[in-house]
């Protein structure tokens, strides 16, 4: 016969397993977007692992210095598209992914021909996932950050 404490432990284990699998599936889908375009002419992609962050005293991405964030990041991916014909497809796929996976739009800015959207998703235990989607006339950038970071860190990054 199953005791209440055994059932509770089993349900807790099952819940954790489901969350783990769901997290892996979500990251896998996110990775597909980056991998789909990584060998495409006019598209640059970057992936930086936590181990690499430890080797870099200064981390510049474009005109952004990410050194303050580096020690708290567990993942950084960047996709830069300078091929105007691909921008609508990449943007559509990215927005569909973020909408379908419950990312919250926390900031949206339009300045002349430039549009920036910042998405956030809480991934647990103080960790957050942020995506900066920046679209200009002939260029699209996606910066995907996961780690023990807060909205203020992203705001500081955007303001530089």
Q: How many CA atoms lie within 13 A of 41 on its CB side?
A: 1
- ∠ Cα 128 117 114 (to 5°): 145
Tens of pLDDT, residues 2-46: 454 544 444 444 344 344 444 444 455 567 878 888 888 999 998
Tell me phi and psi for residue 120, to 5 degrees.
Answer: -135, 145
Question: CA 35 → CA 20, 43, 97, 124, 125, distances in Å?
Answer: 22, 11, 14, 25, 28
Q: How many CA atoms lie within 13 A of 31 on its CB side?
A: 9
Write down the pLDDT at residue 11.
Answer: 45
Tokens standing for residue 37: 């375009």
Give 36-102 as a DSSP string.
Answer: HHTTSTTEEEEEE-HHHHHH-S--EETTEE-HHHHTTEEEEEEEEE--TTTHHHHHHHHHHHHHHTT
DSSP 148: S
Write down the pLDDT at residue 18.
Answer: 42
pTM over 0.75: no
Tens of pLDDT, residues 107-159: 899 999 999 999 999 988 889 999 999 999 899 999 998 888 888 877 776 56
Could you count the other beta carbons within 10 Å of the beta carbon of residue 12?
A: 10
Contact 90, 140 (CB under 8 A): yes
Higher-confidence residue of 159 and 53: namely 53
Write down the pLDDT at residue 33.
Answer: 79
């Amino acid at each position: 016969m199953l005791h209440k404490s055994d059932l509770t432990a089993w349900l807790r284990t099952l819940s954790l397993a489901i969350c783990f699998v769901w997290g892996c599936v979500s990251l896998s889908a996110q990775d597909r977007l980056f991998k789909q375009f990584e060998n495409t002419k006019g598209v640059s992609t970057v992936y930086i692992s936590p181990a690499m962050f430890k080797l870099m005293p200064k981390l510049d991405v474009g005109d952004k210095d990410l050194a303050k964030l580096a020690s708290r990041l567990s993942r950084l991916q960047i996709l830069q598209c300078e091929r105007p014909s691909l921008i609508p497809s990449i943007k559509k796929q990215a927005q569909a992914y973020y909408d379908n996976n419950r990312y919250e739009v926390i900031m949206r800015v339009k300045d002349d021909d430039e549009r920036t959207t910042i998405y956030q998703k809480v991934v647990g235990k103080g960790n957050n996932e942020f995506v900066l989607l920046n679209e200009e006339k002939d260029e699209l950038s996606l910066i995907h950050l996961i780690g023990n970071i807060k909205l203020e860190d992203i705001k500081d990054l955007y303001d530089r």
